[in-house]
Amino acid sequence: MRSGLVAFAVVVLALTAACGGRTWQVRMEVDGPGTAKVVSSLAGESKNPEPVERQLPWQRDSPVGAGFNNISVRGGAPGTVCRIFVDGKLVSERAVDASGAADCAAATQE
């Protein structure tokens, strides 16, 4: 059992070193009144997350590796906005359109 854990740790370290081991702090926000259906996906997560009805304002913070980070908002009231920050810098911001939809995206890469 222990040798299996050691082998796993070696593989993880090797993959991290091969990728440069760089991480970014990503913060996702949806700000507005009421609720909206939110789908969020951070770099390295499942590509088919389900929409979840969220009470607004909503936020999510996580360290991530290289990849794509996305938020989709559906059914947002006028004034609802999605935002993505990478290492504290605003990189994507969108207000919902007339149908209550907005999408924000940010790539983390070297």
d(CA 105, CA 24): 15
pLDDT per residue, tens digit, the chain (110 aa), is 544 443 343 333 334 434 568 999 999 999 999 999 999 999 988 777 889 999 999 999 999 999 999 999 999 999 999 999 999 999 999 999 999 999 999 999 97
Token pair listed for 59: 């936020």
Beta strands in 20-95 (DSSP E): 24-31, 35-41, 52-55, 58-64, 67-74, 81-86, 89-95
